[in-house]
Amino acid sequence: MPLIISLLSFPVGLKISEVIAQESQALPQEITVEENLHSGKILILSNGSSWMVAPSSLNVSQTWITPSGLKIEPSGNAYYPYSIINLQTKASVLVRPLAREPTKGLNILH
């Protein structure tokens, strides 16, 4: 139903493919695990960011091999200042960035 409403809200003369393209640009891209390296010690995400996982979180991160939606947010931990949360299972891991500017371009919830 949302697509029909979207089609009705765009000016007459737009092709359906143009409406769908505009809709997909408006939706935030879901972040997923692109690569899980060294038994869960390093996570490479679909947005290009790289993260080192806290040793206490390895039992969770090593199981993240299928693409599920993720959310990144501050953790409050001095050594691993972010949490990555699996939106499907609600499991989370403590992480720290491997990239120099990990939050550039990320939509991190505060």
Domain boundaries, the chain: 1-28, 33-97
pLDDT reported for residue 20: 56
Calpha distance 19→91 (Å, rounded)? 36
Which pLDDT does position 6 carry in this prediction?
47
Query: Per-10-residue mean pLDDT for the chain, 110 residues long?
Result: 46 56 59 92 92 97 89 95 94 88 53
Name beta bridge partners: 89: none
Q: Which residues contact 86 (CB under 8 A, 6 or more apart)?
A: 64, 68, 69, 70, 92
Confidence at residue 59, expressed as pLDDT on a 0 to 100 scale: 97
Other C-beta atoms lying within 10 Å of the C-beta of residue 105: 9
pLDDT at 30: 86
Q: Angle between the 2-9 and 16-26 helix axes, to the nearest 10 degrees?
A: 110
